[in-house]
Amino acid sequence: MVNCSFCGRRAVYVSRALGKAYCKKHFLEYFDKKVRRTIRKYKMFSEKETIIVAVSGGKDSLALLHYLVKLSKRVPGWTIKALLIDEGIKGYREIAIQDFLRVVRELGVEYRIVRFKDEFGYTLDEIIEIGRRKGLPYHPCSYCGVFRRYLLNKAAREMGGTVLATAHNLDDVIQTYLMNIIKNSWEKIVRLGPVSGVAGHPRFVRKVKPFYEILEKESALYAVLNNLYPKFVECPYAQQSMRWYLRKYINKLEEMYPGTKYSMLRSLLRIISLLEDKADKILEGEIRSCRICGEPASHELCRACTYRLELGIMDEQGNIITNKLESK
Amino acid sequence: MYYREIRYSRTKGAVMGKVKVKIIDTEQEWIVEISAPTSIKDILEKIGLSPEEYIVSKNGEVVPEDEEVSDGDTIILYPVVSGG
């Protein structure tokens, strides 16, 4: 039996990087301290906030929602609401939605579900099929990421959100960091900090990542210990992504050299601070308003509208073009 | 059902017992034979799974992967990686 380094009880978690073992009580204390330190260090929330939590129904976002609802009991000025984007992946999202509904009802949180089908006229599965028929070069995760971020920002604002909290953890962040090094996308690395979306555009909702310093394994354990762990289903498109391979390699490195992940996060934070001084050379100019939808954009059109025009699912006036799949 | 019988011995000698390993909500299941005191971490590595990627429960209790197993133990694995 492995014993807790603090009280000698049976351990549930060992951090090799820190050289400590934790029982359930001390793990939850460690987790709470770590997240609160992140929130404080990066000034994520003020005393009065309407916090919209982006929830997918996966373990990380259910853990974040549970954690922030618990924390909000101590902060009278906070209102917590949950937002789920249903991209419409068959056999996947409907299962995650069940877990989402179970948890928001248990916690008594106000929520909203926004669907690709309602907003864009098509589910992600249909969009991927249209893109494939048109020979567009995009990966399923590109459509999903662009449209999801677009709707998260838009819906969070419509819900009266002053800040949008996402459950990105340390593993997610360093995987994205590596992906963007490989793709030479330094403008994306600058935006990989714990707080983003502060650029001066009235339609931007500030985004924060309270689990920025939490390992994926720690947020999974928090979910298991709090009976939040959802039914495990895998996104059918996940294994097609570069992230899938990077995650495997980074996990292997962490096993061989404990502390690798923390070290990569420090590397990211250092590079962000170095790049911020050169922001004018890296970022693509001023933030503008998309010519079609008015949402924040770095070019004349926002990415979501660019994709929709390329897919042919929207006209230049922003109207949805239906029956795209029937006109093969 | 996806089922694999794996023989595993860390030191030479007679089989000391069998341990069942299962990934939650999937049909992936292994029966692992052990011949010496063995940690869950060793078993996971033997069957090709990374201990970094699972929360482990032994006979219904969450334990670190450094925990040792004995005959008749059931290990349930909770994948740490997000579904998507």
Cβ B55–A217 below 8 Å, yes or no? yes
How many whole angstroms separate alpha carbon A79 and alpha carbon A96? 24
Residue A99 at interface with chain B, using a CB cutoff of 8 Å: no
In which domain, by residue range, is A133 found?
A: 46-286
Please check whether residue A316 lies inside any domain of the structure. Answer: no
CA distance A21 to chain B (A): 8
Nearest residue to A284 (alpha-carbon basis) of A296, A273, A301, A298: A298
Cβ A232–B78 below 8 Å, yes or no? yes
Cβ B82–A237 below 8 Å, yes or no? no
Please check whether residue A317 lies inside any domain of the structure. Answer: no
How many whole angstroms separate alpha carbon B50 and alpha carbon B78? 12
Identify whether residues A17 and A89 lie together within a single domain: no
Q: What is the DSSP string of A95-123?
A: HHHHHHHHHHHHHT-EEEEEEHHHHHSS-
Please check whether residue A24 lies inside any domain of the structure. Answer: yes
Cβ A232–B50 below 8 Å, yes or no? no
B contact test, residue of A12, A13, A174, A252 with most B CBs within 10 A:
A12
Identify whether residues A66 and A138 lie together within a single domain: yes
Q: Name the residue of chain B whose CA is nearest to A59's CA.
A: B82
Residue A149 belongs to what H/E stretch? helix A140-158
Please check whether residue A20 lies inside any domain of the structure. Answer: yes
CA distance B23 to chain A (A): 9
User: Which ipTM value was assigned to this complex?
Assistant: 0.85
| Of A251, A270, A286, the domain-final residue | A286
- Residue ranges with strand state E in A20-77: 20-22, 49-54
All domains of chain B, ordered by start, with CATH? 3-79 (3.10.20.30)
Identify whether residues A25 and A127 lie together within a single domain: no
Please check whether residue A74 lies inside any domain of the structure. Answer: yes
Please check whether residue A305 lies inside any domain of the structure. Answer: no
Identify whether residues A140 and A30 lie together within a single domain: no
Identify whether residues A195 and A80 lie together within a single domain: yes
CA distance A47 to chain B (A): 31
Work out the angle at residue A167's Cα, subtended by the Cα atoms of residues A104 and A228, and round it to the nearest 5 degrees: 40
Whether B25 has a pLDDT exceeding 50, the answer reads yes
Identify whether residues A91 and A22 lie together within a single domain: no
Residues from chain A that touch B75, judged by Cβ atoms under 8 A, are none
Whether B1 has a pLDDT exceeding 50, the answer reads no
B contact test, residue of A3, A14, A98, A215 with most B CBs within 10 A:
A14
Identify whether residues A153 and A127 lie together within a single domain: yes
Residue A277 at interface with chain B, using a CB cutoff of 8 Å: no
Residues from chain A that touch B50, judged by Cβ atoms under 8 A, are 248, 251-252, 255
Identify whether residues A183 and A278 lie together within a single domain: yes
Q: Name the residue of chain B whose CA is nearest to A236's CA.
A: B84
Identify whether residues A37 and A51 lie together within a single domain: no
Identify whether residues A14 and A140 lie together within a single domain: no
Indicate the number of domains in chain A.
2
Residue with tokens 């911020």: A276
Please check whether residue A301 lies inside any domain of the structure. Answer: no
Identify whether residues A247 and A171 lie together within a single domain: yes
Residues from chain A that touch B64, judged by Cβ atoms under 8 A, are 2, 11-14, 21
Instruction: Tell me B76's DSSP state.
Output: E
Per-residue pLDDT of chain A (328 residues; tens, 9 = 90+): 899 999 999 999 999 999 999 999 999 999 999 999 999 999 999 999 999 999 998 899 999 999 999 999 999 999 999 999 999 999 888 888 999 999 999 999 999 999 999 999 999 999 999 999 999 999 998 999 999 999 999 999 999 999 999 999 999 999 999 999 999 999 889 989 999 865 678 899 999 999 999 999 999 999 999 999 888 777 888 777 788 889 999 999 999 999 999 999 999 999 999 988 777 676 666 788 999 999 998 889 999 999 999 999 999 999 999 887 775 4
Least confident of A237-246, A251-260, B7-16, B60-69: B7-16
Please check whether residue A306 lies inside any domain of the structure. Answer: no
Instruction: Say which of A13, A233, A254 has its CB closest to residue B64.
Output: A13
From residue A70, give the alpha-carbon distance in Å to each of A75, A160, A206.
10, 21, 22
Residue A58 at interface with chain B, using a CB cutoff of 8 Å: yes
Parallel, antiparallel, or unpaired for β B68-69 and B38-39?
antiparallel
Identify whether residues A183 and A268 lie together within a single domain: yes
